[in-house]
Structure formats: structure tokens, C-alpha cells
Amino acid sequence: MEYQVIFIQSVLKDDIPKIKKSGINLETLYRSLKKLERNPYGSSRAKSGDLSNIRGMDWNKGYRVLFMVDDINKIVKIVSIDCHDEAYKKAKRRKQD
């Protein structure tokens, strides 16, 4: 069974529009997210410390996609998409959303 990829509201409201505005082609993002549907562990790494429940994958030379995996319900919840440092700051604030 495949996983369902969902976005928290902050990603839809803030992160995606920021990426669009910068001129980056979102098709590559959607292809990366398709990979998470099949196997969220394949191309991602577990984080540690206060982000120990977060996994991250590289995207588009310098961007990070940070997410949580719910294996019971087969859900991948995207919590942050941004440049490296900003993605982690956002994830720390948003991980409870």
C-alpha cells in the first residue's frame, strides 16, 4: 500500500508560493513527492535532537523537504520546504501542526 502525501497548511500558504515566486519549476518537487508515496524511507534521512520525529530529503540543489511519517495510517506529512537553514527553523515551529 502506498503512502498518502499531505501538506500542513503553512506549507501550502507560505512555502509553495515562495518557491513559485522564485521561479523554480514545481514539477521536480512533485516528482520527488511521488517517490515518498512509494517509499518515504528510500531517499530520506532521519533527523536527530529536537527534530527526531522528522525525516528530510534534498531537493533542487540546496532545498530541503522535511516531513513526518505515520506508518500506521500510511501518511507522509510535509512540514517544511525551504533552503536548508530556513527549512529546519520552520520545521521546529511547525512539527506540532
Query: pLDDT tens across 79-96, in order?
Result: 999 998 899 999 998 877
Q: How many residues appear in the chain? A: 97
Q: How many domains does the chain have?
A: 1
The whole domain housing 14 covers: 4-94
- Sole residue written with cell 509553495: 16
Query: Using CA atoms, how far apart are residues 24 and 27, in angstroms rounded to an integer?
Result: 9
Reported pTM: 0.91
The CATH number for 10's domain is 3.30.2310.20
- Sole residue written with cell 512540514: 79
Query: Using CA atoms, how far apart are residues 78 and 63, in angstroms rounded to an integer?
Result: 14
Query: pLDDT tens across 58-67, in order?
Result: 988 889 999 9
> 81 with 12: CB under 8 angstroms?
no
